[in-house]
Structure 1
Amino acid sequence: MSWYGIDAVDRALSRTKKALFEPFNFWKWAKIAIIIFLLGGVSSFGSSSNYNVGSEDFKNNFPIIEPGQMPDLPFGTHDTAFSYIYPEPQLATLVVVIVLILLLALIFSYVSSVMEFVFVESLIRNEVKFWAYSRRFLKKGFNLLLVRLAIGLTLLALLGIAALPFAPRIVESPADFAWPVLLGGFFWIVGVIIVLILLAVAINSLLSLAIPLSIYQDKGILSAFGLIFAKFKKSWQEVLVYWLIRFVLGIGIAILAIFLFGLTALALGLIFVILDGILYFLFSSLVSEFFLWILLIPVIVIELILILGTVFFLNVPLAVFLKYHLLSFLEAWFKDAEIPFFDIPAQRPETGVDEPEPNL
């Protein structure tokens, strides 16, 4: 068994160094930072309602209606009463909000799927052409989105099937539901969720390996995934080692990122606090308190943007290294991948002699 996952670490370090530091290019870093941000750009949304039909105000104004009786309501309050009993406007608003949230989530997921291909192409070519690559991979990104949605819905269906035996008993007789059965059902559901999470992580990892094949062998994402899965069945040991190395690298990079980002945010925060204090004392004697804060709030917002931008900027080499590790592993593990890395000399077809490496 070959240790491709371990060997890929040195190759990923070398390629990260060449791509980002030889030479250093600020705008290249900035464009990669934007790509990385869009890769994880799906936001979580939530909504809550303070509507409470059991409140004291409701009970006082609209008494409980017995079956077969009409309430004695003051004139003009019937419409209000029915708005509580039949809250169509609130329900319609809730439905619209949910639809908008789902639509935004789909849009951001689509952008993230397109950026998966843009990120790979940018690192393989060592040349970031954001708009050109984005237009090129619109269709592939859409297909990737459909595949991910299908996988997600399938996993949710499996979770629902696993919970199905317990649902009727809870609904029909919740008071008679025995604690041992309830506790056993809880551990069963938790175990199923853990297994499904691990399965989702494994599928997503194989799907990430299929993305370069989809690009450079001009295949659909499902066809490329089929090739990766067929290879996985033949040499799953190498992939397990690769996953273990990725897990260790992920922990190490997470610790490094927390330390690096925290130290950077703290240093910039202290500098900006001192700057804000100086500005406050300079302008406090010239303008009123109200206008002083009108001047300072935009400055504070700009400072927060600079801190976040710096953090994203520093995240670039960490994310690039992890992606190069994936690509380098795929290069060694899947011999027929034929990934045209920027640091591999091209060969003349008629002689097989290496051509000089291009000056990048």
Structure 2
Amino acid sequence: MSWYAIDAVDRAFLRTKKALFEPFDFWKWVKLAVIIFLLGGAASNYGGSGTNYRMDSEDFGNNLPYVEPGQIPGFPSGVNGIDPYHMYFPEPAGAIIAVIVFLLLLALLISYISSIMEFVFVESLVKNEVKFWAYLGEFMGKGFYLLLVRLALGLVFLVFFAIAFLPLIPTILEEPSDVSVPVLIGGIFWFIVVLLILALIGVAINSFLSLAIPLSIYRNTGILSAFGLVFANFRKSWKEVIVYWFVRFLLSIGIAILAILLFGITMLFLGLIFLITDGMLYFLFSALVSDFLVWILLIPFVLIELALIFGALLFLNVPFAVFMKYHLLSFLETWFVGAEIPFFDAPVQEPEKGLSEAEVNF
């Protein structure tokens, strides 16, 4: 068995160094930071019936109930006339539904952009050229199909979760006094086990999808066909993938620790600088305006400082994300025969020179 995942670490490190530091390009880092960030997405009026028809008493025949003067049936006793506290206003329900629909559409839009960025990120690293808008237009179709696949997988997982949750429904519907402790513990244990199993399956499928994205690009095939190719190769060399997952897990832990330390130092450094700056501005403004206006004047500076901290963290995250993606691509390059990934650092094969007529005669 070959150790493709371990060998890919060195190649990923070299490619990351060449792509980001040889030479260093500030705007290239900015565009990659935006791509990595994007990887990671009218109230309806229900007050009227929609018609102008007015009903008279003749429309109901003799079925109208007798109402005492000043009394309205259905209202609590002691309430006369129309009390606004007991009236039903459907407008808030319409607003809530509209907000929910808006949030769902926003989530779909963000997921769609994230799906497109999966392809844009791969293409940018393989070619070592970040052409944001060109790649965005090129991969809108593939990103849409990836979104559909992810939505379908999410629906399938939701159905499986609901099926696994069915045995717990009788226990939930029982009175609290009738539920025994062993049954409750067993239900909680079953719930945790189901979540863990579904989470592991989800991680595996997401890993296959990540490996399928480059194949979909460079073998010019659909995302489902590329997923099938990855899964077929997994069945032939599943041990390599297990090692790959283990190596990725260790790399993720190491990078997470390094990132936390680096981010913490950066935030501490910038925080001290901004704290000193804000203190100087506070004393400067205090000599000119009232305390209330001082805080109002400081708000724009604080917002700018928060934006700078956020931008700095995105900027520092670029090498980590690039390295992990290069590791995936480098593993796929050797694990999947015929991946045909045209890396920017691939050696150029010179055409063989034929012998001249004089050399042949010699």
TM-score (norm 2): 0.85
Cα deviations across residues 113-133 of structure 1 (Å, max 9, x unaligned)? 000000000000000000000
Q: Which amino acid aligns with 2:231?
A: F
Q: Which residue of 2 aligns with 1:144?
A: 146
Q: Which residue of 2 aligns with 1:73?
A: 79
In 2, the alpha carbon distance for the partners of 1:28 and 1:202 equals: 32
Cα deviations across residues 77-96 of structure 1 (Å, max 9, x unaligned)? 0x43132xxx6333322222
In 2, the alpha carbon distance for the partners of 1:180 and 1:89 equals: 47
In 2, the alpha carbon distance for the partners of 1:68 and 1:306 equals: 60
Q: Which residue of 1 aligns with 2:169?
A: 167
Q: Which amino acid aligns with 2:268?
A: L
In 1, the alpha carbon distance for the partners of 2:349 and 2:136 equals: 29
Q: Which residue of 1 aligns with 2:22?
A: 22
Q: Which residue of 1 aligns with 2:47?
A: none
In 1, the alpha carbon distance for the partners of 2:270 and 2:246 equals: 36
State the SS of the aligned residue for 1:335. Answer: coil
In 2, the alpha carbon distance for the partners of 1:225 and 1:333 equals: 15
Q: Which amino acid aligns with 1:321?
A: F
Query: 172-181 or 194-203: which moved more?
Result: 172-181
1:293 aligns with 2:259: no
| Structure 1 residue 308 displacement after superposition | 0.8
In 1, the alpha carbon distance for the partners of 2:93 and 2:299 equals: 38
| Structure 1 residue 99 displacement after superposition | 1.2
In 2, the alpha carbon distance for the partners of 1:73 and 1:280 equals: 58
Moved over 4 A (4+): 67-70, 172-175
Q: Which residue of 2 aligns with 1:207?
A: 209
In 2, the alpha carbon distance for the partners of 1:308 and 1:175 equals: 51
State the SS of the aligned residue for 1:325. Answer: helix
| Structure 1 residue 160 displacement after superposition | 0.7
Q: Which residue of 2 aligns with 1:245?
A: 247
Q: Which residue of 2 aligns with 1:4?
A: 4
| Structure 1 residue 275 displacement after superposition | 1.0
Written as runs of structure 1 = structure 2, the 5 A alignment for 1:41-52 is: 42=41
In 2, the alpha carbon distance for the partners of 1:219 and 1:273 equals: 53
In 2, the alpha carbon distance for the partners of 1:352 and 1:284 equals: 80
Cα deviations across residues 277-312 of structure 1 (Å, max 9, x unaligned)? 112222321222233223211111111111110111
In 2, the alpha carbon distance for the partners of 1:209 and 1:74 equals: 70
Aligned counterpart in structure 1 of residue 221 of structure 2, from 207, 219, 225: 219
In 2, the alpha carbon distance for the partners of 1:299 and 1:333 equals: 51
TM-score (norm 1): 0.86
State the SS of the aligned residue for 2:341. Answer: coil
Q: Which amino acid aligns with 2:11?
A: R
In 1, the alpha carbon distance for the partners of 2:353 and 2:198 equals: 47
1:304 aligns with 2:309: no
Written as runs of structure 1 = structure 2, the 5 A alignment for 1:311-350 is: 311-347=313-349
Distance 1:69 1:11, change over 3 A: closer
| Structure 1 residue 69 displacement after superposition | 8.1
In 2, the alpha carbon distance for the partners of 1:288 and 1:185 equals: 61
| Structure 1 residue 352 displacement after superposition | 10
Report which of the two structures shows the higher radius of gyration computed on alpha carbons.
2
Q: Which amino acid aligns with 2:196?
A: I
Q: Which amino acid aligns with 1:212?
A: P
1:104 aligns with 2:106: yes
Q: Which residue of 2 aligns with 1:58?
A: none
In 2, the alpha carbon distance for the partners of 1:23 and 1:186 equals: 55
Percent of residue pairs bearing the same amino acid type: 63
Aligned counterpart in structure 2 of residue 262 of structure 1, from 261, 264, 274: 264
1:127 aligns with 2:129: yes
State the SS of the aligned residue for 1:336. Answer: coil
Q: Which residue of 2 aligns with 1:277?
A: 279
Q: Which runs of 5+ in 1 are unaligned?
A: 43-66, 354-360
Q: Which amino acid aligns with 2:8?
A: A
Cα deviations across residues 42-74 of structure 1 (Å, max 9, x unaligned)? 4xxxxxxxxxxxxxxxxxxxxxxxx98853213
